Amino acid sequence: MLWGGRFKEELNSRALKFSSSLKYDINLLQEDIEGSIAHAEMLSSINILSNDECKKIVSGLKQISEEWQNNSWKPDAGKFEDVHSAVESRLFELIGDTAGKLHTGRSRNDQIALDIILWINKRCSLINSLIIEFQKTLLEISSAHVETLIPGYTHLQRAQPISLAFHLLAYVEMLERDKSRFYFIKNNLNQSPLGSGALAGSTLPLDRNYSADKLGFESPTGNALDSVSNRDFILDYLHACSVGMMHLSRFSEEIIIWSSSEWNFIKLSDSFTTGSSLMPQKKNPDMAELIRGKTGRVYGNYIGFASTMKSLPLSYNRDLQEDKEPLFDSSFTYEDSLEIINGMISTAAFNVKRFAEELQGDFSLATDIADWLVLKGMPFRDAHRIVGLVVQKCEKDGKKFSSMSLDELKSISQVFDESVMEYLDMNSELKKKKTIGSTNPQLVKERIDFWKKKLV
One-letter amino acid of 277: S
Provide the b/e sequence for 192-203 (b: ≥16 CB within 10 Å).
bbbbbbbbebbe
**Using N-to-C axis directions, what is the helix angle for 324-346 and 286-309, rounded to 10°?**
160
**Among candidates 305, 391, 296, which has minimal Cα distance to 337?**
296
Instruction: Give the count of alpha carbons within 13 A of 162, CB side only.
Output: 20
Long-range (24+ apart) CB contacts under 8 A made by 3-9 are: none
Provide, for the chain, the percentages of residues in helix, strand and coil under a 3-state DSSP scheme, each rounded to the nearest 5.
65, 5, 30
Cis peptide, bond prior to residue 315, ω within 30 of zero: yes
**Using N-to-C axis directions, what is the helix angle for 51-69 and 29-45, rounded to 10°?**
170
**Among candidates 3, 219, 207, which has minimal Cα distance to 103?**
3
Spatial distance between the Cα atoms of 448 and 454, rounded to a whole number of angstroms: 10
Residue 100 CB contacts under 8 Å (≥ 6 apart), including other chains: 92
**Among candidates 325, 167, 186, 176, which has minimal Cα distance to 243?**
176
Spatial distance between the Cα atoms of 219 and 49, rounded to a whole number of angstroms: 23
Q: Which one of 276, 307, 403, 405 is the catalytic residue? A: 276
Spatial distance between the Cα atoms of 134 and 129, rounded to a whole number of angstroms: 9
Q: Any catalytic annotation for residue 155? A: yes
The DSSP code for 74 is -
* Partners of 220 in beta bridges: 192
Q: First CA to last CA across the chain, in angstroms? A: 50
Q: Confirm if 239 and 124 have CB atoms less than 8 A apart.
A: no
**Which residue blocks in 144-260 are alpha helix, DSSP H?**
164-188, 208-214, 224-229, 232-258
Dump the DSSP string for 26-48. Answer: GGGHHHHHHHHHHHHHHHHHTTS
Q: Confirm if 229 and 316 have CB atoms less than 8 A apart.
A: yes
Q: How many CB atoms lie within 10 A of CB 128?
A: 18
Q: Any catalytic annotation for residue 276? A: yes
Q: Which one of 155, 261, 271, 311 is the catalytic residue? A: 155
Catalytic residues: 155, 276
